[in-house]
Amino acid sequence: MLFISHNVSIPDDEIDISYIRAQGAGGQNVNKVSSAVHLRFDVQASSLPEFYKERLLALKDSRLTKDGVIVIKAQQFRTQEKNREDALQRLQELIKSVAIVQKARRATKPTKSSQRKRVDSKTQRGKTKSLRGKVQF
């Protein structure tokens, strides 16, 4: 059971985990041990609430296929268990990130006082710089 929040959790049977051989450099064991993890999670067939499903399917993420399946590959660690935990944690973070609602931005105007201060400081700076020129007789 993967817990997302107090009310939302994903049963283990909805998450498909397969073990594959990790890529990259290794030692004598690298071609014999399948320590990397491929995690597949079908968003549309899951028991997540509709709110989560809609948000997940609307993501512009390379881990999401056209069929609505999230694919996470974890091969950072040398053991299957650590890679499995890493993949599950990354899935959990992805789903949690979708639940956060962005605060609406409201445009604001600078106050009259701040506008006046800005212009005054610019004119003062201009006067200071004009004193740096050649002395005129």
Nearest to 2 by CA among 77, 78, 100, 90: 90
Lowest mean pLDDT among 67-81, 104-118, 123-137: 67-81
Q: Cα(23)–Cα(120) distance, rounded to whole angstroms?
A: 63
Beta partners for residue 64, in sequence order:
70
Phi, psi of 35 (to 5 degrees): -105, -15
Kindly report, residue by residue over 79-102, the tens digit of the pLDDT.
888 888 898 888 888 888 888 888
pLDDT band with cut points at 50, 70 and 90 for residue 121 = very high
Q: Which residue has the tokens 């990397």?
A: 36
d(Cα 124, Cα 82) in Å, to the nearest integer? 63
pLDDT bucket at 112, cuts 50 / 70 / 90: very high
Residue-level pLDDT at 135:
79
Residue 26 clears pLDDT 70, i.e. is over it: no
Amino acid identity, residue 129?
A: K
Rounded distance, CA 86 to CA 88, Å? Answer: 6
C-alpha distances (whole Å) from 42 to each of 47, 91, 93 are 10, 12, 16
Chain segment 58-73, per-residue pLDDT in tens = 888 778 888 878 888 8
- Checking if the pLDDT of 31 tops 70, the result is no
Reading the block at residue 8, the tokens are: 């939302």
Q: Which sign, positive or negative, has the C-alpha torsion 30, 86, 14, 53?
A: negative
Residue 22 has what pLDDT?
Answer: 74
